[in-house]
Amino acid sequence: MALLPLLFFPDPRLHTVAKPVPAVDGRIQTLVADMLQTMYEAKGIGLAATQVDVHERLIVIDVSEQRDQPVVLINPQLVWTSAETHLNEEGCLSVPGIYDGVERFDAVTVSALGVDGKSRVLQAEGLLSVCIQHEMDHLKGKVFVEYLSPLKRNRIKKKMLKAQREEAR
């Protein structure tokens, strides 16, 4: 297993639209293991392949307190969304230190392949539902700050670029 380097907003590669995973093979299983390790190390609850510069439809999530219930969704598709939505505070490993409200469906049903290559359907609500929607946005090239006002987004962009410059020194 290996820790993978993350892309940070406003890196333009975060806007890449991911392609379907062609086959759940050894390459993908290694990628899943590395992404889980990277997510746990960064204390995140979700990670999309886009964030490690792999532009294929693959996300990993663990919203459990014990950090022992990984959810792997390969080629995920939303098959149902609730009528109700809610404003939830979100953060992102690619936008460290920034938290803001995003409107999301309360519940979703997603179909996807697991790491075993088998198809499954997952019903999610609460934090898991929010996390699935956030990570699936990454696969479309969308970062959560893009839901915020242009003013807020620009402020975040400047703050991130400044922090990245200081870190590079």
- Site residues (vs Ni ion, CB under 5 A): 92
Q: Is 135 a catalytic residue?
A: yes
In the complex, the smallest distance separating the C-beta of residue 92 from Ni ion, rounded to whole angstroms, is 3
In the complex, the smallest distance separating the C-beta of residue 64 from Ni ion, rounded to whole angstroms, is 18
> Based on CB atoms, which residue is closest to Ni ion, 6 or 32?
6
> Based on CB atoms, which residue is closest to Ni ion, 36 or 92?
92
Residue 43 structure tokens? 């204390």
Distant-in-sequence, close-in-space partners of 169: CB < 8 Å, separation ≥ 6: none
In the complex, the smallest distance separating the C-beta of residue 59 from Ni ion, rounded to whole angstroms, is 10
Element (H, E) at 27: helix 26-41
Catalytic residue among 135, 146, 166, 167: 135
User: DSSP secondary-structure letter at 165?
Assistant: H
> Based on CB atoms, which residue is closest to Ni ion, 56 or 119?
56
Distant-in-sequence, close-in-space partners of 34: CB < 8 Å, separation ≥ 6: 1, 2, 3, 4, 52
Active centre residues (catalytic) = 135
